[in-house]
Chains A and B, each alone.
Chain A
Amino acid sequence: MLNNVYDYLLVASLFSIWIVILMNVVLATSGFVSYMKHYRNQTNRDLDHYPFVSVLIPAHNEAKVIEKTLLSILNLDYKNDQYEIIVINDNSSDDSADVLKKMQEKYPKRFLKIINTDNKIGGKGKSNALNIGLAYSKGEFIVIYDADNTPEKSALKELVYSIVHDDHAGAVIGKFRCRNKNANFLTRCINLESLYFQWMAQAGRWQLFKLCTIPGTNFIIRRSILEKIGGWDTKAVTEDTEISFRIYLLGYHIRFCPYSASWEQEPENLSVWFKQRNRWVKGNYYVLFKNYKYLFDKDAGFVRFDLIYYISVYIFFFVAAITSDLIFILNFGGFIQTTVMGYSLLLWFLAYVLFVLSVQISSSTEKGEVSLSNSLIILVMYFTYCKLWAVVAAMGFISFIKDLIFKREAKWYKTERF
């Protein structure tokens, strides 16, 4: 039984970890239901009419990849006169402007706009770049692609089909896949992580509550909504999560459309990965901090689930994991005595087994991802890649608190390309 304060602390942290595991089991199950629904009842998805769409591509020093991205977007399976492409070349110091100019000359008949900004109006992050692009756009719907993306040919059509057939959808998100997954161990882990995130977190929440988080690329949003909320929040470094919350609060949902897929380049070394994830973590803390009041607002509906989810992952799970690890170490060293240690070992084992199975289940939903090498990677991912995440979460939290105390403005780190 519980004998001392450490026992109570350990039980509390075990319970928090158990709750997070439970949430993931529920998400895994509903993600699976969503998968079955999407692929068992696939109907003919032809568009009757093609609404005018603006594709925005924010780019900062993207000369390495932008040409290929533009080519794939120019070749999308959508009526050419029904979509415009706006590239916001945001304060780039490389030769992006020349590359883009050449592309524009090569395709004079296409609606391809290039906006070059300097450090006065531009250079203030992705949100600011998107707002500039929005001001120039004419489309009824706005679609965003990151500058390193290669959308599949049908990606845009699928997004448009989903949003025109669902009046309550404020936005529709597609999938993103890892293009350079075979580059090294890190990119293989990122690939598995992205599959897990999309089929569990995105499809799972969509199935349960009609909630998704905009992933920053390969999504479509109604222009009317962007105008109503005044565009992107320039203070947010994860503008995608931030805008998702504002869409929910307007009473719309965000639809998940797995038929639309875009392939992107993921970080190939740890320093780039750390910087990118640090930005995400900080951004998500910002969103939590900005929206936590809705946790107690009855009208906020299912937004509260999302807040609980973020809080549970970023705060409870994190604190609980550190507490239980600390107690384990202190107990092991003989500094303290606990009687419930054995249970934490089982819980840890449960977390590990379920992690392995959940990543395996999400990779089994994609063609070509069930392989012995992927299974082996999943087995070691928990002890390697996931531990890096814990470090990032801690660093991001400290950095966010520092920004808050010293009133520093969050800076947008642009992911380096390979």
Chain B
Amino acid sequence: MKKNYNKKLSHQIDLVDTLIIVLFFMLTIIYAYGQFGEEILNFYVILSVMIGCIIGYYTNITIAILYSILFNFAYASLHIFVYITQAIPININVYFWMIVIPLFAIMFALKGKWIRDLQMENLSLKKENNEYVMVDKETGLRNSQSFFSELQGYMNINKRYGIIANLMLVKVKYENEVVRIIGMPKFEKIITLLSSEIDKMLREEDRKYILRDSNMFGVVFLTQNDDGEMVKDRLKNTIRQLAFHEEEALIHKMKLEIMVGLASFDQEKTSNAYEFFQMAEKDMEYDV
């Protein structure tokens, strides 16, 4: 259904574009062979046609029609009242313009409307898509869309079975400076590399996320004892020993460092996923 609709809309745009080309061709021919150029008023009228097109395209069909009504009324009245006193017969081009003005303004208004409809549809589809996509395209890690809902799930496991749910947040230290030195494309590569390292180092059942909004990695894992700190140290060591490829030699010299924050879920201190996240974020401040 949706697909059909899109097709219909693009066909409509094709049709209106074709019609506009045909009309412009006709306008040019009639203007040249009808010797419209001999009358100075026709220059102003053709200017008004173009203004009508612009108004129609950037506003809507209602304003385009209103413009045509006002123009036609003023234009025809002028001819009737000025020429009646001078007894000059009314030329056929007066009728011609009275049809051309609304025709062009409406055509452009329709074109503008349909293009806007497509843009709106595109925007809403993108938004919808973002909401559905749970996995980050670049790194293959789960994204922030799934983070909070799944974090809540881990908190519930803790409540029911008593297993400790840990949240570890990982961030590149001096991130802004690093980006400034090496540029965004290279930094993106480093993030991809980091994420694959984190993925490799941790167990299959640990959940790894990339939180692009806050430039962090999030790891949720379950432990029996209080050994979250052990995982944290292991991760830091691994990253420190990480060998970068040649193209990231600059980083190698700079020694990439990471900040890690760790929090274990405690149902007495935390009631929701966001508070749990804030706890881990706060802990990051102590990783100096």
**Interface membership of chain A positions 14-27, coded 1 if the CB is closer than 8 angstroms to chain B and 0 otherwise:** 10001001100100
Contact of B69 among A11, A35, A357 (CB under 8 A): A357
Q: Which residues of B contact A21 (CB under 8 A)?
A: 73
Knowing A353-B98, A364-B61, say if A345 contacts B90 (CB, 8 Å).
yes
Q: Which of A53-61, A260-268, A297-305, A335-343 interfaces with chain B?
A: A335-343
Contact A35 B73 (CB under 8 A): no
Knowing A343-B84, A357-B72, say if A18 contacts B89 (CB, 8 Å).
no
Q: Which of B75-83, B138-146, B169-177 interfaces with chain A?
A: B75-83
Complex interface residues of chain A between 64 and 119 (CB less than 8 A to chain B) = none
Q: Which residues of A contact B70 (CB under 8 A)?
A: 25, 29
The distance in angstroms between the C-alpha atoms of A357 and B62, with both chains bound, is 10
- Asked if A32 is at the interface (CB within 8 A of a chain B CB), the reply is yes
- Asked if A405 is at the interface (CB within 8 A of a chain B CB), the reply is no
Q: How large is the interface on B (under 10, 10 to 19, 20 to 34, 35 or more residues)?
A: 20 to 34
- Asked if B102 is at the interface (CB within 8 A of a chain A CB), the reply is yes
- Asked if B264 is at the interface (CB within 8 A of a chain A CB), the reply is no
Contact B80 A353 (CB under 8 A): no
Knowing A1-B87, A342-B89, A350-B73, say if A18 contacts B80 (CB, 8 Å).
yes
- Asked if A347 is at the interface (CB within 8 A of a chain B CB), the reply is yes
- Asked if A254 is at the interface (CB within 8 A of a chain B CB), the reply is no
- Asked if B95 is at the interface (CB within 8 A of a chain A CB), the reply is yes
- Asked if B99 is at the interface (CB within 8 A of a chain A CB), the reply is yes
- Asked if B68 is at the interface (CB within 8 A of a chain A CB), the reply is yes
The distance in angstroms between the C-alpha atoms of A347 and B75, with both chains bound, is 11
Q: Which residues of A contact B133 (CB under 8 A)?
A: none
Expressed in whole angstroms, the minimum distance between the Cβ of B103 and any Cβ of chain A is 11
Contact B73 A343 (CB under 8 A): no
Q: Which residues of A contact B87 (CB under 8 A)?
A: 1, 339
**Interface membership of chain A positions 250-265, coded 1 if the CB is closer than 8 angstroms to chain B and 0 otherwise:** 0000000000000000
Knowing A25-B70, A29-B70, A339-B87, say if A346 contacts B76 (CB, 8 Å).
yes
Chain B interface mostly helix, strand, loop or mixed? helix
Contact A32 B66 (CB under 8 A): yes
Contact A353 B61 (CB under 8 A): no
Contact A346 B90 (CB under 8 A): yes
Knowing A32-B62, A365-B62, say if A343 contacts B69 (CB, 8 Å).
no
Contact of A22 among B73, B79, B89, B98 (CB under 8 A): B73
Q: Which residue of A lies closest to B66 (CB)?
A: A32
Q: How large is the interface on A (under 10, 10 to 19, 20 to 34, 35 or more residues)?
A: 20 to 34
Expressed in whole angstroms, the minimum distance between the Cβ of B285 and any Cβ of chain A is 43
Contact B62 A18 (CB under 8 A): no
Complex interface residues of chain A between 1 and 54 (CB less than 8 A to chain B) = 1, 11, 14, 18, 21-22, 25, 28-29, 32, 35
Knowing A357-B102, A361-B69, say if A347 contacts B80 (CB, 8 Å).
yes
Q: Which residue of B lies closest to A7 (CB)?
A: B84
Contact B61 A342 (CB under 8 A): no
- Asked if A349 is at the interface (CB within 8 A of a chain B CB), the reply is yes
Expressed in whole angstroms, the minimum distance between the Cβ of B59 and any Cβ of chain A is 11
Contact B65 A18 (CB under 8 A): no
Expressed in whole angstroms, the minimum distance between the Cβ of B128 and any Cβ of chain A is 23
Knowing A343-B90, A349-B98, say if A358 contacts B79 (CB, 8 Å).
no
- Asked if A370 is at the interface (CB within 8 A of a chain B CB), the reply is yes
Expressed in whole angstroms, the minimum distance between the Cβ of A65 and any Cβ of chain B is 34
Name B residues whose Cβ lies closer than 8 Å to a Cβ of A. Answer: 60-63, 65-66, 68-70, 72-73, 76-77, 79-80, 83-85, 87, 89-90, 94-95, 98-99, 102, 106
* Known A346-B94, A349-B95, A353-B72; further 11 A-B contacts with Cβ < 8 A: A22-B73, A25-B73, A28-B69, A29-B66, A32-B63, A343-B80, A346-B90, A346-B95, A347-B80, A357-B102, A364-B60
A-B residue pairs in contact (CB < 8 Å), sample of 9: A1-B87, A18-B80, A29-B66, A32-B62, A343-B83, A346-B94, A347-B80, A353-B99, A365-B62
* Nearest 10 A/B pairs, CB to CB: A350-B76, A361-B65, A364-B62, A25-B73, A364-B61, A357-B69, A342-B90, A343-B80, A346-B90, A357-B65
